[in-house]
Every structure is written in C-alpha cells, then in structure tokens.
Structure 1
Amino acid sequence: MSRYEEVTLTNMCMIVHDQKVLTIRRNDPVWPGLTFPGGHVEAGESFNHSVIREVAEETGLTIFHPKLVGIKQFNDQNDHRYLVLFYRADSFTGTLQPSKEGNLAWLSLKELEQEKLARDFENDLPVFLNSDLSEHFFWNDINECY
C-alpha cells in the first residue's frame, strides 16, 4: 500500500479584532456563504506564508504571526484528501478591501450565529473557538464528522 496520496492543501484564518471576527461572504458557486478568509496553498509555498498571502489577497490586510489552531479534512468528489489548515490571527495592518471573492464584514460571534454560513462551516467554528479541539474530520462511509 502506497504511503502517498493526492492532497489538496488549503487554509482559512479567523482574524479577531475588538471582540469581532472578520468574515467573507463567498461568491464561489461551489462553496457560497459566510466563512473566514483563506484559500489554496501554492506548490512550494509554506503553510504560514500561504495564509498570510491569501488573507492579503482577499481582505487587503497583512496578518502577523498567524497561529495554527486546527485542521479539517475530508475526501473530495474524486476521493482525494482535502486538507484545510485553520489559523487565528490577532494582529494585522492595512485597510479592508473586498476582493472578487466576496464582501467583508466584522461580526461578533453572536451575530455570526444568525447568518447564513457556508455549507458545514458551523462544524468548523468549534475548532477555531475551543482549544481542546484540533480537528474536524469527515468520515465519508457513514456521513459523520468528528
């Protein structure tokens, strides 16, 4: 059995400021709805640099010292592993500038609960918010997540 497999590497970052989190309402037809900024890791790029770059591209902000807080993994429609690295950042510079990815808004966690979230994002949030959790894993055979 091979130890190698095809994997898509991505990231997502919860940016916190004044007890609010930065959200993006994605225009993506595959995964629309409210979530945190993030995107794909480019070939040869470090995970840390990829989240800094993606946040800058989607928000206009430059984050500092993003902290890895967890992961999400599942198999995509081609049965390849899809991995999302979850980060949190509390310091940044810049001015918010929405991108073609979607509109941005600072929301309290209570306000976030009232919004239409991207599919399954409500199951990602506990990993960002609870330091006792480190992974959101979909087990496709029984359609459960952990």
Structure 2
Amino acid sequence: MIEATLCYIISEDKVLLQKKRKGLFGEGKWNAPGGKLENGETAEQCAIREVYEETGLMVKHLQFVGNLYFFVEQYLDQVVYVFKANEFEGSVTQGDEGELKWFELKSIPYEEMWEDDRYWLPLLLKGKKFVGKFYFSKGYAKLLQKELYTE
C-alpha cells in the first residue's frame, strides 16, 4: 500500500494544478502537487516537500482536509492525505513532473482529472473536511463505487 499526499494551493479565486507528464502515474491528468511519503516523514512534511519540489513554492499554514482511500480490484492500493494551503512564498517554477497552471475555481477541468475528483474536490473548495473511499477497476481504468463522508 502506498501513502501519499496532495496539496491544493489556492490563491484568491484560483487553484494551482499540474498536468502529469508522460511516463508518470496519472499522466495527462490535472491534479494537485503531491507524492509519496518518504521513510520517517509525516504527511504534512511530505506535502510541503512535494509542493516545493514540483512548483518552487514554499507553502505555509497547511490545512489537513481529508483522507482518500483508493482500492483497485477490492484491494487497498493508496491512502492519500489531502491538504490545502492559502499562503505561500515564492513564484511558480515549472518542474519536470508536468505543466503547472492556475485555474479559476469556477473553471476546474474535471473532465481532464481523475474520475473521483469531481466528488470530493468541491468539498475541499467549500472548506469541508471529508473521507472518501473509491473503488476502481484494474489500472484505475474506471471508477466502480464510491463512499464519501463529510463533517
């Protein structure tokens, strides 16, 4: 099982997303910066590190907003700790993970994102905490079932 993070960086009425380059997990999909926890690292430390490595931004005052559990063929494959940040220092620098782009909150490209994002990302944007369980077919090809809980 993989433990990973996502960190949604929000500035005024925009969110920073990254289109994963070819050859990476999630290639061609827009997603928040994030990645796998390293040995001995907390989820918050991982989110801060991954955002810096992928965007050049140093996030401040991270807010933990939820957990996502991803199952593939009924087996738990990933646990993702989701954060958001409204404060950061630095300016966006394109990294080797993929293209970075600010999207207006009303124009998030859900059709070019993971299928589950359309269910829980609006909760994050409304300031709600959540836990989601998403069941996919082999290779994350199709979302088969979802469970979503909010506070």
8 Å contact kept, 1:72–1:124: no
Equivalent in the alignment of 1:50: 46
TM-score for the superposition, normalised by structure 1: 0.83
CA RMSD of aligned residues (A): 2.4
Gap runs ≥5 in structure 1: 1-6
Give 1:1-146 correspondences, 5 Å limit: 7-29=1-23, 30-32=25-27, 33-76=29-72, 79-113=75-109, 116-139=112-135, 143-146=144-147
1:17-59 CA distances to partner (integer Å, 9 max, x unpaired)? 1211111111154312111111111110011110000000110
**One-letter amino acid matched to 2:44:** N
1:125-144 CA distances to partner (integer Å, 9 max, x unpaired)? 13422444511112469931
Quote the Cα distance in structure 2 between the aligned partners of 1:114 and 1:70: 19
8 Å contact kept, 1:60–1:94: yes
| Equivalent residue pairs, number | 140
Q: Which has the larger radius of gyration?
A: 1
8 Å contact kept, 1:25–1:34: yes
TM-score for the superposition, normalised by structure 2: 0.81
Equivalent in the alignment of 1:4: none
Residue 77 (structure 1) shift: 6.3
With 130-139 and 17-26 compared, the bigger mean Cα shift is at 130-139
Gap runs ≥5 in structure 2: 138-142
Quote the Cα distance in structure 2 between the aligned partners of 1:58 and 1:31: 15
